[in-house]
Amino acid sequence: MDNETAGKIRGMIRRVVVTKVDDSGGTQTAAATIGQGVELAAVEVLQPFGLAGHAPVDGATALCLMAGGDEGDPVLLPMANPSKRFGGCAEGDVALYNSGGDYVMLRAGGTLEIVIGAAAVLELPAGMVIKAPAVKIEGGRLKVDKDIICHGDVSDKKGSMQEMRDTYNGHSHPSDGTPPNNKME
């Protein structure tokens, strides 16, 4: 292969330093530096369907492809930012993360781990079903704005609601010895 052809092939894929990202249009674009004094402006960033992100520019890098070997038709592959990289994944783990340290982790062993530093908001117009042998909520309190419907027993640290019903229904009044006239069901 001659030097000219080899140079063109090498020039088709370049590592770039991202200097600006614009996520306001129909496609995400970025400005990047290819080498000394070579700047690209408003280059389309290819993003996988269903996944969007805006990498912090400070430290962001990408691979630039010159489509068809034409330096006038560059595109960037999704960006990386080594300074914000999420590490510590075991083999088979997959994580979705942001620059603030929040993440959603699918562990290879089947565990879903979600860690966020602020509130979690789920908008589920059709409802939500959790199928599990047990659900544990750790926190200061549980606030529910509407009815709670339970098809099983309800208990707290003092006993069950059924025990309270049994105590109420089984008591009598010392003055006449009669049980309550309205039983708890």
**Token pair for 18:** 């991202």
pLDDT of residue 8: 79
* Confidence (pLDDT) at 166: 81
List, for the chain, all residue ranges whose pLDDT scores fall below the cut of 70.
Answer: 177, 180-185
Give the pLDDT confidence score for residue 143 in this predicted structure: 92
Return the amino acid letter for 40. L
77-to-9, 30, 61, 131 alpha-carbon distances in Å:
17, 11, 10, 39
Question: What does the pLDDT read at residue 30?
Answer: 98
Say which CATH architecture domain 3-82 belongs to: Beta Barrel (2.40)
pLDDT at 180: 66
Helix/strand/coil (H/E/C) assignment for every residue in the chain: CCHHHHHHHHHHEEEEEEEEEECCCCCCEEEEEEECCEEEEEEEECCCCCCCCCCCCCCCEEEEEEHHHCCCCEEECCCECHHHCCCCCCCCCEEEECCCCCEEEECCCCCEEEECCCCCCCCCCCCCCCCCCCCCCCCCCCCCCCCCCCCCCCEECCEEHHHHHHHHHHCCCCCCCCCCCCCCC
pLDDT confidence of residue 99: 92
